[in-house]
Amino acid sequence: MVEFAEFERTGWARRSGTYDGGFGAMTAGLHARLLAEAEVRPGVRLLEVGCGTGRLALSAIELGAEVVATDAVSEMVAEAGRMLPKVLRAELPGLPFGADEFDCSVGAFVINHVPDPVAAVRDLARVVVPGGRVVLSCWDALTVNRAQGVFFDAVAQAGAARPAGLPESSPFAAYATPELFAGLLRTGGLTEVEVHRVGWTHRVAPDRWWRAVLTGTVLTSSLIEGQDEVTVGRIKAAYDALTARWAEPDGTVALPVAALVAVGRVAG
């Protein structure tokens, strides 16, 4: 787990300046739903974990919430600090807050990046008041989340070997279905748990999306970055052929995106 956490921190530090304009813009398609599930309204004390460059936290502030945003990567904290009034470097688990400090907490695509998902959920439940909501999201299966799935398929079609030294998967992989994700929240001490499948479409020029994923993800990009030039060329050709399925008349592609949104209440 230590090696996984270090791989994540190092990778996201390198992506801090390039994440927001590409991959971050796609993930923002879920932000309104996450804030609605957290029941964000004026005066609500919201904790966001894994805030990245601060898009979701800024939206919550615009809704009138009192927001504390955190991220485990110093470079991301610096990026988010350009637009947010309060950003802290904090690990999950290991949040530097007392019990019941927040009315709700939100983590947008962060639970799949933490070294200990059960401890992370318990830590979020600890800092939220009884009756408050914890809202988390993760990506759905690559077979339906095609905006990312096409990259894994392209690597496979190109016959590319997995680069040495990469984690096989994240610790969250054992919970990456609606039923198991719900079980994770219950194990972490939450009640009234629900997990919803959510989908949307990301319209983008295919070459721009290729660059966005290579400069805005960690594990996915590492599968490609670690290849030689000829192999990268084969992967790109396979990617171009795969994305052509969703081609639009204006030259963009309308890629299906799919996520899981898990919601639970703190007992008490």
pLDDT beyond 60 at 50? yes
pLDDT beyond 60 at 3? yes
User: Where in the chain are the domains?
Assistant: 2-266
Going by C-beta distance under 8 Å and a sequence separation of 6 or more, which residues neighbour residue 51? 57, 69, 70, 71, 76, 80, 84, 87
pLDDT digits (tens, 9 = 90+) for 20-32: 989 999 999 999 9
Other CB atoms within 10 A of residue 165 CB: 9
Q: What percent of the chain has pLDDT over 70?
A: 99
pTM for the whole structure: 0.94
Q: How far apart are CA 37 and CA 261, in angstroms?
A: 9
Q: Supply the pLDDT for residue 118.
A: 97
Q: How far apart are CA 24 and CA 221, in angstroms?
A: 14
What residues does 196 pair with on adjacent strands? 261
Q: Supply the pLDDT for residue 1.
A: 53
Contact 26, 147 (CB under 8 A): yes
Q: How far are the Cα atoms of 11, 49, 214 from residue 71, in angstroms, in the given order? A: 14, 6, 21
Q: Supply the pLDDT for residue 2.
A: 55
Q: How far apart are CA 127 and CA 152, in angstroms?
A: 37
pLDDT digits (tens, 9 = 90+) for 127-155: 999 999 999 999 999 999 999 999 999 99
CATH of domain 2-266: 3.40.50.150
Segment 241-254 shows an average pLDDT of 98
pLDDT beyond 80 at 36? yes
pLDDT beyond 90 at 102? yes
Going by C-beta distance under 8 Å and a sequence separation of 6 or more, which residues neighbour residue 268? 129, 130, 131
pLDDT digits (tens, 9 = 90+) for 202-234: 999 999 999 999 999 999 999 999 999 999 999
Q: What percent of the chain has pLDDT over 90?
A: 91
pLDDT beyond 90 at 164? no
| β-strand pairing of 190-204 with 253-266 | antiparallel
